[in-house]
Structures are given as C-alpha cells and as structure tokens.
Amino acid sequence: MTENPVPQATAEAEVVDICRDLIRIDTTNPGDHSGPGERVAAEHVAGLLAEVGLEPTVLESHPKRTSLVARIEGEDPSRPALLIHGHLDVVPADADDWHRDPFGGEVAEGCVWGRGAVDMKDMDAMVLAVMRQRLREGRKPKRDVVLAFTADEEAGGKWGARYLTQEHPGLFEGVTEAIGEVGGFSVTVGDQRLYALQTAEKGLAWMRLTATGTAGHGSMIHGDNAVTEVAEAVARIGRHEWPVQLPDSTRAFLTAASAALGVEFDPQDPGSVLGKLGGMSRMIGAAMKNTTNPTGLKAGYKVNVIPQSATAEVDGRFLPGHEEEFFAEVDRMLGTAVKREFIHHDISLETTADGDLYDAMSASLLAEDPQAKVAPYCLSAGTDAKWFSQLGVRCFGFSPLKLPPELDFSGMFHGIDERVAVDGLRFGVRVLDRFLDLA
C-alpha cells in the first residue's frame, strides 16, 4: 500500500517563513567589504531553487560578495525573456534603536519585522515562493524568466549588478524587460487606493568635495582656510532651493492622486496635492526636483592647527533628463576653491507607462483589488535597474504589496523598525503568480 504524498506548501503558506529566514541572515552592506557579505544568503537562495529543480549560477565578485542567476524555461522560448531581480544586501541597523531585533525576523502585530523587510527581502521571498510553487506544479511562465539575486545594491551595485552585467552578460541573453524594486505598492489617497508602478528613477551623484588651503597655527590670520571654504560650499548646496520640474511619471502620479481627491491637478501648484499624500509625500516630493543633501564633513586633527585640506560628502540626485543642468548648478555653487569628485555616479531612467508588460502588471493588481487604480511614478532613489538598462533592458519597479493605510511605507526604507505586513506578502504572491501568467 502506497503512502499518501506529503502535501507541498503553497506560495502563500511559505512566503512569510522565507522572508523571515532571509532577514535572519545578516547581509549588512556598510559600503565596503567589511560586512558579512551576501554569500550565506545567496547559498540559501540557491538551495531553495535547487530543491525545485533549478541549477542556479552562483558568482562571487569579491570574497563574500555573492550574487546568483537562474533561468526558468517558458512556454514559448522564442519570445524575449523577462528578468526579475532583487538584491540580497541591506543597509546597517543599530539594534539599540529598534523595538525588535533587526535581524530576528519576528512576526508581531501582523507584520514581519527586520532589516530588509521592505528593502527588499520581502520581494525576494515573494519571488522565491511563487517560483517554487510553479516549478513544483510544472506551471511554466509565458516566456523565459531570468531570476537575479544580487549583491551590493545598497552601495551602487559595483560588486553585484554591475559585475553581472559587465562580466557575465550572457546570463541575460534575450532579456528585453525587467521588474524589480520599488513599485506595485498601495498608497491610500482620500478614499481611493492607488498602486504606484515605478516607471522612472532619479540619477545618483554621491560627491566628495575638497578644499585645499595653507596649514598653520590656529592663532594666526589665514585668508585661505580650507575648512571655511568647504563649510561655505556645503551651506550653499544644502540650502539651495532647486526648482520644481515634473518628470512625466511624477506628473502622472500627481494627476491620479488629484483625481482620487476629486480635484483637478494644477501643475503650477503641485504642493497642494503633495500635502495630502501622507508619508508618500516625501518620496513624490523628492521626485519633483533635483536634490543635494550634505551627509558628511571631515577636517583637522587638533583644535589649534589649521588643516591643509577639508572634505565634505554630498548625496546628489537628479531628475531624468536634467543631469547636465544639475552639475552645472552644483559647480556654480562650489565656485573655484572647492573641487568635486565622484564617490559614485549613476544614470537616471524613465520609460513610458504603456505596453504589454505594464498592462500585465496593472491587470494582475486590479484582479486582486478591483476597486483600486494604478498610476506610474518616479522613484526618488536608485536601483539595480540602472545596470540592467545598459544591456538594453526596459525596466520597471514592481514589488506588489497591499499596505495598511496607516503604515508609513516610504519611512520603512532604511528606517528604524522596518517591517512588512504579512497580508501584504500574501497579496504580493497572488499578484506575482497571476502576473507570470500574463507577462
């Protein structure tokens, strides 16, 4: 007599545990190689995929800096392939600031808590859960799907997506479109739920500013004090009021938000809508203009010694189509006494809110939430899409989540007490599964 087979866990049943397990693997990325790296997490993900018959390619760009790629055959391999990418690294977290262990993966108050819960081990878990169920059941996607789980996204992707695209581009042969972070999440505006699909993201300019003067005794008069020059440049940059310039994606989101509020969008007064978006106002507000935020200062070694040089660090972000004017204005504010160099520089992106893939994302969301609306938007930060776009891939942010209206989702990114709703994860699994039947 044969025994009854043990029933396999569904994607909805195992997504929470996968997310928790990923959070418990510390992949903190301090911006150099001093962290634990992504190796353990990459091997864990590779094991989950190997259990359902895949043979992932695991690649190490530097000791412990590990990414993996796997390809799933679709029903029609002659069609262009789809890339689904997510990063494994997370930004640092100080446990003393948190109410719960940032690497504990605890489930409490209806949420999974921990660093990476929204950025972006939630999406990693949803993709893994969906693909594991589909592979167990023999359900192929419409076309080939390439999965990429990357290292180093939080520091610009040099040891992750850049390494993969520049050293192993063959892994992405035939890929023409991609989804990744950050999009497909719900925003409650008035009584309407909007799902924000990411069709654009700002460019990135992490800059080091340096002034050089004459070193000397602190009691003397010095007209070329490097500390003064850098401090004045930092003040000019930090206080600069950049003009409002609306990318198409930002304008489209504000128009949809205005409609949800029952008013007509006024492009001359976008702030009137912005103030009614709750926590989302920070993300959308930063996608209405270029930004330059000073983040660090360094000079001197003794109070009575005037140093020969002084440096500052600035996080600059520029809107799609506005890179040239951004740097021209930065250089004007720096003047001739302060020089800049790049710590990291990356492109902006913007695509149109149309096409079969956009329609598939929209349809899969609305099938689960029929009363909602979908709108494109511009992400104020950057993602690995910048690197994949250089292979000619059209990139969107689509990590679907239905969120409680009271949750400050944008504040979860790199914030304290990062967490994701359990119901949101299960919603995302259903949406992604349907999406793969349509994409």
Task: Please tell me whether residues 129 and 235 are part of one structural domain.
Answer: no
> For residues 235 and 306, what is the distance between their CA atoms, to the nearest angstrom?
20
320 within a domain of the structure (yes/no): yes
> For residues 333 and 317, what is the distance between their CA atoms, to the nearest angstrom?
16
Instruction: List, in sequence order, every residue forming a beta bridge with 82; answer none if it has no partner.
Output: 145, 177
The HSE-up count of residue 319 (CA atoms within 13 Å, CB side) is: 24
pLDDT of res. 275: 83
Q: 287 with 247: CB under 8 angstroms?
A: yes
pLDDT of res. 119: 92
199 within a domain of the structure (yes/no): no
pLDDT-based confidence at residue 222 (cuts at 50, 70, 90): confident
Task: Please tell me whether residues 241 and 150 are part of one structural domain.
Answer: no
pLDDT of res. 3: 53
Tell me which of 324, 344, 364 is where a domain ends.
Answer: 344
When computed from its CA atoms, the radius of gyration of the chain, rounded to whole angstroms, is 23
Is the pLDDT assigned to residue 413 strictly greater than 80? yes
Instruction: Give the global pTM.
Output: 0.91
15: domain CATH number?
Answer: 3.40.630.10
Is the pLDDT assigned to residue 4 strictly greater than 60? no
Instruction: List, in sequence order, every residue forming a beta bridge with 349; answer none if it has no partner.
Output: 201
Is the pLDDT assigned to residue 190 strictly greater than 80? yes
- 167, with CB counted inside 10 A (0-12, 13-18, 19+), is exposed
85 within a domain of the structure (yes/no): yes
> For residues 177 and 81, what is the distance between their CA atoms, to the nearest angstrom?
7
- Comparing 9-13, 231-235, 386-390, 428-432, the range with the smallest average pLDDT is 9-13
Task: Please tell me whether residues 37 and 170 are part of one structural domain.
Answer: yes
In one-letter notation, the amino acid at residue 271 is: G
pLDDT of res. 293: 96
pLDDT of res. 358: 97
Q: Which contiguous run of DSSP H or E holds residue 237?
A: helix 226-239
Task: Please tell me whether residues 146 and 28 are part of one structural domain.
Answer: yes
Q: 82 with 356: CB under 8 angstroms?
A: no
167 within a domain of the structure (yes/no): yes
pLDDT of res. 77: 86
Backbone dihedral angles phi then psi of residue 231, each to the nearest 5 degrees: -60, -40
**Residue showing tokens 């926590």:** 279
Q: 310 with 226: CB under 8 angstroms?
A: yes
> What is the average pLDDT value for the chain, to the nearest integer?
93
367 within a domain of the structure (yes/no): no
Is the pLDDT assigned to residue 2 strictly greater than 60? no
- Per residue in 225-245, pLDDT (tens digit) is 999 999 999 999 999 999 999
Nearest in space to 10 (alpha carbons), one of 126, 89, 169, 122: 126
Task: Please tell me whether residues 233 and 92 are part of one structural domain.
Answer: no
> For residues 295 and 313, what is the distance between their CA atoms, to the nearest angstrom?
6
- DSSP letters, 192-225, are EEEEEEEEEE-EEEEEEEEEE---EETTS--SS-
Task: Please tell me whether residues 295 and 407 are part of one structural domain.
Answer: no
Strands 145-150 and 81-87: parallel
Q: What percent of the chain has pLDDT over 70?
A: 98
Task: Please tell me whether residues 209 and 319 are part of one structural domain.
Answer: yes
363 within a domain of the structure (yes/no): no
Task: Please tell me whether residues 228 and 282 are part of one structural domain.
Answer: yes
Distance set, CA 82 to CA 9, 112, 174, 330 (Å): 26, 29, 8, 38
Q: Which domain holds residue 95?
A: 11-182+381-438
36 within a domain of the structure (yes/no): yes
Three-class DSSP category at 106: coil
Tell me which of 344, 361, 392 is where a domain ends.
Answer: 344
* Tokens read off for 172: 């992405």
> For residues 8 and 336, what is the distance between their CA atoms, to the nearest angstrom?
66
Task: Please tell me whether residues 138 and 226 are part of one structural domain.
Answer: no
Structural domain tally of the chain? Answer: 2
Is the pLDDT assigned to residue 165 strictly greater than 60? yes
Mean pLDDT of 351-361: 96
Task: Please tell me whether residues 175 and 214 are part of one structural domain.
Answer: no
Mean pLDDT of 353-360: 96
* Tokens read off for 26: 């510390």
Task: Please tell me whether residues 221 and 170 are part of one structural domain.
Answer: no
Largest CA distance in the chain: 97
- Per residue in 107-130, pLDDT (tens digit) is 999 999 999 999 999 999 999 999
pLDDT of res. 406: 82
Is the pLDDT assigned to residue 5 strictly greater than 90? no
Q: How far separated are the first and last CA of the chain, in Å rounded?
A: 43
- Per residue in 51-90, pLDDT (tens digit) is 999 999 999 999 999 999 999 999 998 999 999 999 999 9
Task: Please tell me whether residues 168 and 244 are part of one structural domain.
Answer: no
pLDDT of res. 144: 97
Is the pLDDT assigned to residue 269 strictly greater than 70? yes
Instruction: List, in sequence order, every residue forming a beta bridge with 57; answer none if it has no partner.
Output: 69
Distance set, CA 436 to CA 84, 328, 363, 389, 439 (Å): 11, 44, 11, 21, 5
Is the pLDDT assigned to residue 1 strictly greater than 50? no
- Per residue in 320-333, pLDDT (tens digit) is 999 999 999 999 99
DSSP H helical ranges for 76-215:
121-137, 161-167
Is the pLDDT assigned to residue 253 strictly greater than 60? yes
359 within a domain of the structure (yes/no): no
> For residues 114 and 93, what is the distance between their CA atoms, to the nearest angstrom?
9
228: domain CATH number?
Answer: 3.30.70.360
Nearest in space to 112 (alpha carbons), one of 428, 424, 419: 419
> For residues 330 and 236, what is the distance between their CA atoms, to the nearest angstrom?
9
Is the pLDDT assigned to residue 7 strictly greater than 80? no
pLDDT of res. 6: 47
Tell me which of 344, 363, 396 is where a domain ends.
Answer: 344
Q: What is the dihedral of CA 151, 161, 417, 409, to 10 degrees?
A: -160
> For residues 289 and 244, what is the distance between their CA atoms, to the nearest angstrom?
5
- Per residue in 290-303, pLDDT (tens digit) is 999 999 999 998 99
The more confidently predicted of residues 274 and 26 is 26
pLDDT of res. 223: 83
